[in-house]
A and B are shown apart, each in its own frame.
Chain A
Amino acid sequence: MATKYELKSKEIWDGNTAASHALRQAQVDVVAAYPITPSTPIVQNYASFLADGYVDGEFVMVESEHSAMSACVGAASAGGRVATATSSQGYALMVEVLYQASGMRLPIVMTVVNRALASPLNIHGDHGDLYLGRDAGWIHLMANNPQEAYDMTLCAFKVAENKSVRLPVTTNQDGFLVSHTAQVVEPLDDDTAYKFIGDYTPMNPMLDTSNPATYGAQTEEEWHFEFKASQHKALIDSAKVIEEVFNEFEKLTGRKYNLVESYKLEDAEIALAVMGSAYETAMVAVDKARVEGIKVGLVMPRSFRPFPYNEIASKLKNVKAIAALDRSCPMGAMGALYNEISGALSANGQAAIMTNYIYGLGGRDTTAEHILEVIKETNENAKAGKRVTDLQGFINLRGPKLSFN
């Protein structure tokens, strides 16, 4: 039996500490992980919890991220609660097995600390890894600060293990900007947190050897499509469960999360869409813009997958122009947020003017002043009633202007 960890009602935690305490409180049965900057402290903290008796499961310190996710698949199919953590190159090495974990409908929770993908090598935060895992069949939840990193990780277990979902979940926090930035976090006590998540409910565990289970069978053209389509349907339908879990979490903590977060959107004429810590920077920019008389608001998909198409379109139904800010280089296309939101608007018969901004790659600073500029440009589009700015721009990029139309 694990020793209880006495927590204060307010702790000063960075995002990594917050995520690791959530893993501890979930009483995970098996954590299989490999250290990588900037998520290494999650793995270290978990090892310390084990060394001091605060967790009593198995901690498997594997030889690569590929094996980390493979061991997670083995452990989850065996029948128990499983979690891991990673970033960037480690995430990239896992990608093959991410698809296998979701295809086998295994409710693994992975706390991802987002970091740029090489080359060039860079240890700082951007969403290159998150976007790489976009189609991997996982639920991706966004956390903008240490409190959210803690809250989303608790919620992640409850969503993943829900019988109608049974899908793996990542929680995402920006490398260094959230993972290494200490803020006030209000944690739940251990008993309350565990009670919120609940006991793990097994489904076809391999270790129930009286009822042998087969995981990872082959399906060719007769069945593969049906499997993938039903997995996709489960992912789409998980939105409802995510909302239910968020509602339950609000009752417990007073902290309200939504599939689509928004800020000052009620009377907004233009909007920005942005995920991660930059959402909070953008709130400051919105306040500044409103002082200047620009009616601007913000949206953020709390759940990047499943993508809340209708909810986001509904939130944006009254705006005339939208700038989607993507923290990942789309490499020959428009950013993912731009594409998803454009699709959501189109599907709902809305026609706001869309532009795309790429920002913060490799941890490049993005300040409220930078975002205020984006707001002003977006406002130009709204005033003109057509796009008069570049289709895709780069925020705080040095050298020649690389934007294009």
Chain B
Amino acid sequence: MKNITTLKEFACTPDRFNGGHRLCPGCAHGMIVREVVNATDDDLVISTATGCLEVCTAIYPYTSWDVSWLHIGFENAAAGISGAEAMYKALSKKNKSYNPDKNVKFVAFGGDGGTYDIGFQSLSGATERGHDFLYVCLDNEGYMNTGAQRSSSTPIGAHTTTSPRGKLSYGEKNRKKDLTMIMAAHGCPYVATATPGSKHWKDMAQKAAKAISTVGPTFINALSPCTTEWKFKPEDTVEISDLAVETCMFPLFEIEDGHKLTVNYKPKNKLPVEEYLSKQGRFSHLFKPENRWVIEEIQKEVDRYWEYLLRREEAGV
């Protein structure tokens, strides 16, 4: 497992994911991906679901990837990487490895659309089969590549183009699917949440290092604030990430072997959810008097979930 100490040292790691890609200025995807692929010294094979990351990083004849990279479709990043991993095992077994002296690790990236929704079956299958890979969900809470349609990760109250605010609507009506817990329920050796907050770069890099070095299927759900469709300024990505953690809208925790839960960061002063919601245009309608109750409901749910995490950690079961 790669030892990650200082930001300066980590930032000087030779890039496997290069700049010059076409992600929006302020997009968190690039920050997360760069941290993940630089969190190991082993060679990598990457698979990426259709989505922002894919369309912005491998437009022929260019590529941002200095590692082997595969994109098949929207729903099959996990199935694709499971095939590549199976080939690695098969060739190792047959003494036909291409680079017998090197360890190769397998990482798949998908947005929340490609992970929570259309790719969920493929992810669940690859996880259940026990392939040795890390799956990172770049969770920007909707189909942002195609202009902000809702997904099962979209939180209650968020405006999207398919759960729009309107005279009769306060935006998304359904609660965000708890995918991290669902992945833990597969019995994965390692599941974690992460986000590119100012205090949390190391948390994310270390989680990626741990996940990649763990044998078996591992999963990181990384909140990826979307400047373009969440409607905040491009320079505020890190602040939004911080607020997600400080309000406990997106708590940082990890679960080992499907049950052992550790909360990785506990805010000294848990901020009210308004602090997070008010910075994003997608929630602006919630501050109208008739929608205020939605904010209260969100706060209640956040409090309930935070309490659940703390109690579960304390119980140690």
Chain A residues packing against B (C-beta within 8 Å): 29-30, 32, 56-58, 60-64, 66-67, 70-80, 82, 96-97, 100, 202, 205-210, 212-220, 223
A204 nearest CB across to chain B (Å): 9
| CB–CB A58/B90 < 8 A | yes
User: A-facing mask of B76-97, CB < 8 A → 1, else 0?
Assistant: 1001111111111111011011
Q: Which of B58, B67, B81, B121 contacts A218 (CB 8 A)?
A: B58
Q: Which 8 A-B pairs have the closest CB atoms?
A: A74-B83, A63-B125, A71-B83, A216-B71, A70-B79, A209-B43, A70-B76, A206-B68
Separation of A64 and B122 alpha carbons in the complex (Å): 8
Contact A60 B86 (CB under 8 A): yes
- Cα-based distance from A208 to B90 in the complex (angstroms): 14
B195 at the interface (CB under 8 A from A): no
Residues of A within 8 A of B72 (CB): 70, 73-74, 97, 100, 216
Question: Which residues of the partner chain B approach A217 to less than 8 Å between Cβ atoms?
Answer: 58-60, 63, 71
Chain B residues with CB below 8 A from A219, complex form: 59-60
* Shortest Cβ gap from A168 to chain B (Å): 14
Expressed in whole angstroms, the Cα–Cα distance for A78 and B291 within the complex equals 52
Q: Is B102 an interface residue (CB 8 A)?
A: yes
Contact with B76, one of A67, A76, A80 (Cβ below 8 angstroms): A67
B127 to chain A, nearest CB (A): 10
Flag if A64 contacts B121 (CB, 8 Å).
yes
Tell me if B54 is interfacial: C-beta within 8 Å of chain A. Answer: yes
Q: Are B122 and A70 in contact (CB under 8 A)?
A: yes
Chain B nearest CB, measured from A73 CB (Å): 5
A-B contact count (CB 8 A): 175
Nearest A residue (CB) for B76: A70
Query: By the criterion CB–CB under 8 Å, are A74 and B87 in contact?
Result: yes
Whether A207 contacts B88 in the complex (CB less than 8 A), given A67-B79, A223-B60, comes out as yes
A66 with B60: in contact, given A30-B83, A58-B89, A78-B45 (CB under 8 Å)? no
Determine the distance from Cα of A71 to Cα of B76 in the docked complex, in whole angstroms: 8
The minimal Cβ–Cβ distance linking A331 to chain B, given in whole angstroms, is 26
Q: Is the CB of A209 within 8 A of B45?
A: yes
CB contact under 8 A between A58 and B86, given known A207-B97, A208-B99 = yes
| Residue of A58, A79, A97, A223 with most partner-chain B CB within 10 A | A58
**Of the residues A62, A80, A207, contact of B45 by C-beta under 8 Å:** A207
Judge whether A207 and B91 touch: CB under 8 Å.
yes
Whether A80 pairs with B87 at a CB distance below 8 angstroms is yes
CB distance from B135 to the nearest CB of A (A): 13
Interface: B75 (CB within 8 A): yes
B121 pairs with A78, CB closer than 8 A: no
Kindly list chain B residues whose C-beta atoms are within 8 Å of the C-beta of A74.
47, 70, 72, 79-87
Residues of B within 8 A of A56 (CB): 93-94
Bound form: Cα–Cα A219–B61 in Å: 8
A205 and B98 contact, CB distance less than 8 A: yes
Partner of A78, one of B54, B55, B83, B102: B83
| B65 cross-chain contacts in A, Cβ below 8 A | 212, 214
Contacts A57-B90, A58-B90, A209-B99 given; indicate if A73 touches B104 (C-beta within 8 A).
no
Q: How far does the Cβ of B131 sit from chain A's closest Cβ, in whole Å?
A: 8
Contact A212 B66 (CB under 8 A): yes
Closest partner residue, chain A, to B45 (CB atom): A206
Min CB–CB distance A209 → chain B (angstroms): 4
Residues of B within 8 A of A205 (CB): 98
**Using Cβ atoms and an 8 Å threshold, which residues of chain B touch A30?**
83, 86-87, 90
> Given A71-B79, A74-B81, do A213 and B60 touch, yes or no (CB 8 Å)?
no
Residues of A within 8 A of B80 (CB): 70-71, 73-74
Q: Considering the complex, which residues of chain B in the window 114-170 have a beta carbon less than 8 Å from any beta carbon of chain A?
A: 121-122, 124-126, 128-129
A216 lies within 8 A of B94 (CB): no
Residue contact A218 to B54, C-beta cutoff 8 Å: yes
B140 to chain A, nearest CB (A): 19
Contact residues in A for B75 (Cβ distance below 8 Å) = 66
User: Does B212 touch A at the CB level, under 8 Å?
Assistant: no
Q: Is the CB of A206 within 8 A of B70?
A: yes
Chain A residues contacting B125 (CB-CB under 8 Å) are 62-64, 67
B63 touches A207 (CB 8 A): no
How far apart sit A60 and B63, CA to CA, in the bound complex (Å)? 30
Which residues of chain B have C-beta atoms less than 8 A from A214's C-beta?
A: 58, 63, 65, 68-69
Tell me the smallest distance from the CB of A293 to a CB of chain B, in Å: 57
Contact of A80 among B58, B85, B91, B99 (CB under 8 A): B91
Q: Quick one: which of A67, A97, A208, A216 contacts B58, CB cutoff 8 A?
A: A216
Judged by a CB distance under 8 angstroms, whether B44 is at the interface is yes
The residue in chain A whose Cβ has the minimal distance to the Cβ of B16 is A212
Beyond contacts A209-B68, A216-B72: 9 other A-B pairs, Cβ-Cβ < 8 A, are: A30-B90, A67-B76, A67-B79, A67-B121, A78-B88, A79-B87, A100-B73, A209-B102, A215-B70
